[in-house]
């Protein structure tokens, strides 16, 4: 059996050392030493992934390596920060070489693509658990905060939310009565297992968008975080939701459940002043992604009060819809 140190060295440290070194001091000391560029802040986020909760026990380790870092890079994207590096702590029941090789390949393929360097970590025996803390650099004036939405702002979303949730439904066999052809099922599963963090879009939106976050727990639930922190409400045109062709082939109720209350999308939801519409579209084009305007921020009579913010759901005609949706919550049963 590999010892802890040879394990780290073989699959992680050696590979980390071949990257360009943004860190003054990386793996192998008590701490890594890093610094943001002059005049910039360090953006920091941490996510923990647990088997059975964030991934299925039979997930391909390469896909898991990708996703573990992708969900963290997505937090940087939502802040408009440029990736710098990350730490990886993980618990493994037993170090299996084939598993580690595939996992590290998936991890570094994504890390290299975004120039995000592994700067430190920890490994231990235990039930499978992955904890990544990611570091980015952002000008304070360009940070896309959750508390910056203003009444009158457009509400935008990137990509086609809902596909990842449909992928989970397919893998779990949740909808046996719904015919889903093989290509659509593969599309959904890819969305679930290979989310693409919207880093380029987040960077392009700096100075253009106001508030932003990434959709990890479902659009409806996540949007509420912006509303709460910005003390505003929202109106959403449900018919404007961008759906993939595959999702659009599911029954309408499933479409909405997946697109509004599904987790694991890692698309960006953001607000921007109406005067910025062209700039937003240009930023999306520059970043090579799709963005769709789905609603409007409205004022709240209860600024500063602890009352939960309201989302009004409407169809394309403006008629209100009565939707019952529940966002993803890690301590509720799924």
Binder among 14, 53, 113, 172 for a second copy (CB under 8 A)? 53
> Minimum distance from CB of 315 to a second copy (Å)?
30
Give the chain's largest Cα–Cα span: 65
Q: Is 332 in the site for a second copy (CB under 8 A)?
A: yes
Return the half-sphere exposure (C-beta side, CA atoms, 13 A cut-off) of residue 13. Answer: 17
Contacts of 148 (CB under 8 A, 6+ apart): 210, 211, 230, 271
Q: Is 141 in the site for a second copy (CB under 8 A)?
A: no
The rounded distance, in Å, linking the Cα atoms of 164 and 176 is 18
Of residues 44, 17, 41, the one with CA closest to residue 28: 17
Q: Is 136 in the site for a second copy (CB under 8 A)?
A: yes
Q: Which stretch binds a second copy (CB under 8 A): 10-18, 98-106, 131-139, 243-251?
A: 131-139
Q: Is 52 in the site for a second copy (CB under 8 A)?
A: yes
Element holding 162 (H helix, E strand): none
Let me know: does 140 contact 39? Beta carbons within 8 Å: no
Eight-class DSSP state of 85: E
> Minimum distance from CB of 250 to a second copy (Å)?
28
Q: Is 272 in the site for a second copy (CB under 8 A)?
A: no
Using the minimum distance from each CB to a second copy, give the nearer residue, 21 or 277. Answer: 21
Of residues 128, 131, 156, the one with CA closest to residue 46: 131
The rounded distance, in Å, linking the Cα atoms of 47 and 132 is 6
> Minimum distance from CB of 167 to a second copy (Å)?
20
Binder among 16, 27, 32, 149 for a second copy (CB under 8 A)? 32
Q: Is 129 in the site for a second copy (CB under 8 A)?
A: yes
Contacts of 143 (CB under 8 A, 6+ apart): 41, 43, 79, 80, 81, 206
Q: What is the DSSP string of 208-223?
A: T-SSEEE-SS-HHHHH
> Minimum distance from CB of 220 to a second copy (Å)?
14
Q: Is 120 in the site for a second copy (CB under 8 A)?
A: yes
> Minimum distance from CB of 273 to a second copy (Å)?
20
Tokens of 92: 């493994």
Fill in the per-residue mask, 62 to 101: x = in contact with a second copy (CB under 8 A), - = not in contact: -------------xx-xx-x-----xxxxx---x------
Site for a second copy in 145-184 (CB under 8 A): 145-147
Q: Is 109 in the site for a second copy (CB under 8 A)?
A: no
Tokens of 310: 């309201």
Q: Which stretch binds a second copy (CB under 8 A): 58-66, 98-106, 117-125, 315-323?
A: 117-125
Site for a second copy in 224-243 (CB under 8 A): 225, 229
Binder among 61, 65, 106, 121 for a second copy (CB under 8 A)? 121
């Amino acid at each position: 059996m590999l010892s802890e140190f040879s394990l780290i060295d073989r699959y992680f440290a050696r590979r980390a050392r071949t990257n360009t070194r943004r860190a003054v001091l990386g793996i192998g000391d008590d701490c890594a030493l890093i610094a943001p560029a002059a005049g910039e802040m360090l953006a920091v986020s941490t996510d923990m992934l647990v088997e059975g909760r964030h991934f299925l026990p039979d997930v391909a380790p390469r896909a898991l390596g990708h996703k573990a870092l992708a969900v963290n890079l997505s937090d940087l994207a939502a802040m408009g920060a440029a990736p710098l590096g990350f730490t990886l702590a993980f618990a493994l029941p037993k170090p299996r070489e084939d598993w580690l090789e595939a996992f590290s390949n998936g991890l570094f393929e994504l890390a290299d693509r975004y120039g995000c360097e592994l700067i430190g970590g920890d490994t231990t025996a235990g039930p499978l658990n992955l904890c990544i803390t990611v570091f980015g650099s952002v000008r304070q004036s360009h940070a896309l905060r959750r508390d910056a939405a203003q009444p009158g702002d457009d509400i935008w979303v990137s990509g086609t939310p809902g596909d990842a949730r449909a992928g989970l439904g397919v893998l779990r066999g949740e909808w046996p009565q719904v015919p889903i052809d093989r290509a659509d099922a593969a599309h959904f599963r890819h969305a679930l297992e290979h989310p693409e963090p919207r880093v380029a879009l987040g960077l392009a939106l700096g100075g253009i968008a106001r508030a932003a976050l990434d959709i990890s727990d479902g659009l409806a639930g996540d949007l509420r975080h912006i509303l709460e922190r910005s003390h505003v409400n929202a109106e959403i045109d449900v018919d404007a939701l961008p759906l993939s062709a595959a999702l659009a082939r599911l029954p309408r109720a499933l479409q909405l459940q997946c697109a509004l209350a599904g987790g694991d999308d890692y698309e960006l939801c953001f607000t921007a002043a109406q005067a910025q519409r062209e700039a937003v579209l240009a930023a999306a084009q520059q970043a090579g992604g799709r963005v769709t305007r789905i609603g409007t921020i409205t004022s709240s009579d209860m600024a500063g009060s602890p009352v939960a913010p309201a989302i009004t759901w409407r169809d394309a005609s403006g008629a209100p819809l009565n939707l019952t949706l529940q966002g993803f919550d890690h301590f509720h049963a799924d």
